[in-house]
Structure 1
Amino acid sequence: MKKGYDHILIYTVLILLAVGWIMVYSSSAVVAEITYHDGFRFLKKQLLFSLLGLVAMLTAMKVDYLKLKALTYPMLALSILLLMLILIPGLGLGIKVGLARRWLRTPWFTFQPSELGKLALVIFVAYSMAKKGDNIKKFFLGFLPVIAISGIMIILVVMEPDMGTAIFMGILTMVLLFIGGTRFSYLLTLPLITAPGLYFFITRFHYSHRRIMAFLNPWEDVQGMGFQIIQSFVALGSGGLWGVGLGDGKQKLFFLPAAHTDFI
């Protein structure tokens, strides 16, 4: 039987990819030209990784997803190992950016192990639910083992620290378990159980506390944690919902440390 693809999803991905190229070039061209004497520096990097991503997508489209079952535990083990390696300063593999150590250095490129961890987590939870069947509704046989292994990966991400990714992975795990038929009462207890740990993390790590306070009131630290949020207010106030026009934004002109990344 001929395999069908979701063409709407594919076209949406390609459109977003093209929009991303335009946004990266628009936000980085001036800074790249002045800093590196190459206005296309970040665009070329984006195009390279886009090409690699498209190749990976086309490859994945040709592979029967059921064959991923064999990769479940190797991917899970590799993700946990890499997340552990970046936390060991003496190895020199983890790259510290600001106060966080989230990037892993290789001879050819750098990447975030947590990104691989997200994929490994999805495959692991899906495989576990398919394997356990109705046992996923049982606390000790189904729910607890999945939460325990997922929790190890999430704790390692918290230690980087990367609270945003950790919360995303936690929510992702809960959504998958809910879809798989886990008892809602089990899922309801998770936020209550993790709340003390979350509170400890926020109060123990000054960086996380400052980030939250800056989100609630960026004007308390105009030149520090609140700076980027305030710049977003300035951008929105200048151009409204439709912007000042493609390429005419001002916040990218050395007002931001990395306008071509998350600030897009």
Structure 2
Amino acid sequence: MYDGLLVTCVFALFGLGLIMVMSASASEAERMFGNPYHYAIRHAIFMGLALCISGAVLQIPIKHWHDKDGFLLVVAIVLLIAVLIVGKKVNGSTRWLALGPINIQVAEVAKLFFFSFLAGYLVRRHDEVRENIKGFIKPLFVFFVIACLLIAQPDLGTVVVMLVTTMGMLFLAGARLWQFAALLIAGATAVAVLIILSPYRLRRVTSFWDPWQDPFGSGYQLTQSLMAFGRGSWTGEGLGNSIQKLAYLPEAHTDFVIAVLAEELGFVGVTAVVVLLAVVVFRALWIGRQALQDERYFEGFFASGIGIWLCFQGVVNMGASAGLLPTKGLTLPLVSYGGSSMIILSMAIAVVIRIDHEGRMARTQAVGGRRK
């Protein structure tokens, strides 16, 4: 017994993502590899791996995630340290561990494993989180350690996503509002300082405010993305007819795939992606809420955390492409090109589906027991 609506929307996003990666990457793949389908083929392989791995994850009882949450946290920290020592450097960032032909972006692994740990902590220290400032601070210290390792890569976007998700999970656990106010102020201050101290990040923020001031420099990505949105209008230029993807818009098949989609499929296509992603997010949050009502607290916190993560990452990606938020280098969940992101997000969704499945089975058994 699985959530049919959730699974359908996930596969729809997979399919749409494959089509858009094929379209958005064809020009660059032809220029770099002499094969316009190079990235599309790799994306299809990643999809196959994601489905196989998430299928295996689907067989793992959630109890095992709960029992091993501390071990998973240690694995995440070790991977984050390892990538700083022996990681592969791309575009000035050291975010990938090379395992033969596969590059693993360890920040994606860290997200899932940290949220598993946090869900377990909120179960073990539930009363302490609600009543004692120490219970609120302890997981933030762990987050601080992970955030420092991520900043060293550097990867501020992942830190922001994890911070927002952490705040959401702590809120669900019943932490007090004044603690959130203090955390929000501290987090915003820390992000502001990191931006000010980094000329690269500062240029991103200032170009977000007025990208047309330097359209061929710091504002180049955003102006090209905005032109793609503008050309798309209501119904788009037609699949494959994007001009901006032809060496104008950088990262067209990764960070800015929604801009190419907007140009080719228009407002209608963007709305379809938003609706599909919103359904996935709301189903994850609903499954988390149902688990909390059934007093399956680890499952409830974990599913809710995954829902918040998917929601915020999707909002940041689309907001950055549309000029509503500074660019952060985050993928559009289940749509953008990127093996690590696709595999880890697929695993996360498989966890949500497993949580829902176990809940349905438990409720069915409870009803059967009452009838007897």
Q: Same fold by TM (over 0.5)? A: yes
Q: How far apart, in 1, do the equivalents of 2:15 and 2:98 lie?
A: 28
Aligned-residue identity in percent: 32
Q: Could you tell me how far 1:141 is from its partner in structure 2? A: 4.2
What are the equivalent positions in structure 2 for 1:48-67 lying under 5 Å apart? 48-67=45-64
Q: CA RMSD in A?
A: 1.6
Q: Which has the higher contact order (CA 8 A, sep 6+)?
A: 2
1:109-258 alignment, distance < 5 Å: 109-258=102-251
Q: Does 1:68 align with 2:65?
A: yes
The C-alpha deviation readout for 1:219-264, integer Å capped at 9, x for no partner, is: 2322222111101121122221432110000111111333211110
Decide whether aligned partners of structure 1 residues 45 and 163 sit closer, same or farther in structure 2, where only a CA change above 3 A counts. same
Once the two structures are TM-superposed, the CA of residue 138 in structure 1 deviates from its matched residue by 3.2
Equivalent residue number for residue 84 of structure 1: 81
Can you list the C-alpha shifts for 1:127-157, whole angstroms capped at 9, x where unaligned? 0011123222133442111111122112221
1: CA distance between counterparts of 2:219 and 2:94?
21
Opposite residue 219 of structure 1, the aligned amino acid is W
Structure 2 gaps, min length 5: 258-372
Is the Cα–Cα contact under 8 Å of residues 139 and 186 in structure 1 kept in the other structure?
no
1:196 offset after TM fit, Å?
3.4
* TM-score, L = length of structure 1: 0.91
Relative distance call for 1:115 and 1:132 in structure 2 (3 A) is same
In 2, Cα distance between equivalents of 1:242 and 1:231: 19
SS in 1 for 2:117: helix
Deviation at 1:30, TM superposition (A): 2.8
- How far apart, in 2, do the equivalents of 1:224 and 1:71 lie? 47
Task: Give, in angstroms, the shift of residue 169 of structure 1.
Answer: 0.3
**Cα 1:126–1:112 shift into 2, 3 Å:** same
> 57-66 vs 174-183, which deviates more?
57-66
Give secondary structure in 2 for the equivalent of 1:27.
Answer: helix
Q: Distance in 1 between matches of 2:63 and 2:24?
A: 41
SS at match of 1:196: helix
Q: Within 2, Cα distance between the matches of 1:231 and 1:97?
A: 22
Find the residue that maps to 1:62 and give its secondary structure. Answer: coil
Unaligned runs of 5+ in 1: none
TM-score, structure 2 length as denominator?
0.66
Q: How many residues align?
A: 257
